[in-house]
Structure 1
Amino acid sequence: YHWDLPQALEDRGGWLNRDIVDWFADYARLIGQRYGRRVKRFVTFNEPGIFSLFSRSFGARDRSADDKLHRWIHHVNLAHGAAVDALRQTVADAQIGLVTNYQPIYPSTDKPEDITEAALIGDYWNRAFSDPENVRQYPLLIRDAIAPHIQPGDIARIHRPLDWFGLNHYSPVYINSDPNAIIGLGWGAKPDGIPRTPIDWTIEPDAFRDTLIEVSRRYGKPVYVTENGYGSNIEKPDDTGAVIDPGRIAFLRDYISGLDAAIAAGADVRGYFVWSLLDNFEWAEGY
């Protein structure tokens, strides 16, 4: 699922309606029945934090949205668990994972409120989905907020056996505290002196290395890097028709070196997929 909810289901409440758990299970079952003879690796959700947090939190000012955010998160997790069960029932040898955009969350200043906010956003951004689905509990800093939406048996329904962990990673996120925003998040200034891509994402291969080590140790599953790459809008063919692309070449060299260092440190990384030369143009940076 990559954020394309049918309008008919959105009109019935979408991810705020607990019935979506069964709707999503039916969808996963249909996918398994149609493609299971040829497809053996499945992802339930790609970056659930993005379509959840950006829809119901970042930039929002209506404080009532806070409850909707936590209900939404819990329903996505329940739908994930139901989809895993549906795929297991229809594809006996399925290899199933979830893909998250797990990134270091750094405070943009050393103010106590920014440091506190960075810890909170780390639980929302990185662990609100990965933790209940892999280690059977919500992360500590958001546990009380989710609790009103949890019914008996829900955590067991979410925590279904997974075969691998999917990681999308580009760069860290820098934030500051905004007391007027839902969950308090404001986008912070990025530090000077750190290289950036042409679309202003910082280039920090050491953060990639550290993230691979962290998720491998925290979740104990084989890791596939399902997205990593260099978004750029400035390369053009030269007079010979060739694209001279030193920025992307250097980025991939350094990030793959970071991956190699993570493996040397014990991270169980099984695959690496470069996300394309058009990254993010289809969503936010171009069209």
Structure 2
Amino acid sequence: MWGVSYWVFPVISGLTWLGMLLGLLIHWTSTGKPHYPSMADNQTIAYISDVGAESLKPLFIAGSCVTTVFLDLAFISDVFLRNRGRLESLTGSGRIVSWLSLLFAAIGTAGLILLSIFDTLHHHKLHDVFLLLFIAGYVISAVFICWEYQRLGIRMSPPIPTQNHTQTNIKLTLSPTEFRQHRILRISFWLKLVFILLEVILAIAFGSCNFKEKYNAAAVLEWTIAFVFTFYVFSFFVDLIPAVRTRHGRAKGPMGGQTEMEAEAGAQGRNTADSERTLGMNDLETSNGGKRHAGLANNF
């Protein structure tokens, strides 16, 4: 059973954002696709901000605020859970990267809330500045998150086997929990990397179409950018769902002071060491019929 846990933050955020976008789009299409005052003369497809500057401005502001607040809670939860050891923990440099991702997420948050307040009809230039902050803030934040997850993935990967490893107790495989965490990090990394690439490409195309006054194409691209952002928000569900397995803090059992991952790793390490001691104490027959104790290397 999943229960209610930190994973609800990105779900609430994503559903709110998606619901707001659909509400704005359905309102515009169901009212006959009106030509708003903020639209250019040769423009027939409304921007999100064109619809949000009219009667549905309260929905635009409320949806943007709820989306960003719960998304930021998801960011903060991820950092909190990693610092508590309930998710794969961060190292010193990893914490710096994590805080940088939070910083740029806050910039993106401010950009989205402010662009919804300063609408394109009455504050066109300010609206464009805040739109840039929104897109750039969250894209750069995603870059730092990918960097953080890439470092975590490298740290979790087992070492490459060498001849020397046969004489040591270095663990060359991942425990089930470590494997699960590594797989989740890999999935989340690729989801966010795809988001970065798509958003950068779409943002460049959006800016180019605006510059060339191809407003209908730019409007389609803006709606696309917004819907792609929905999937980015939902990707944090993948990051936070493992915390359900550690909802009571530390793992239960004799290793109660450790996380579930650390407990399994420690247990496997002890089993390996015990096996090696047993092998090391095996008695081998000598040429004169006596016995001697063989070292670990002699058993391979």
TM-score, reference length from structure 1: 0.25
The higher radius of gyration belongs to 2
Higher share in strand: 1
Higher share in helix: 2
TM-score, reference length from structure 2: 0.24
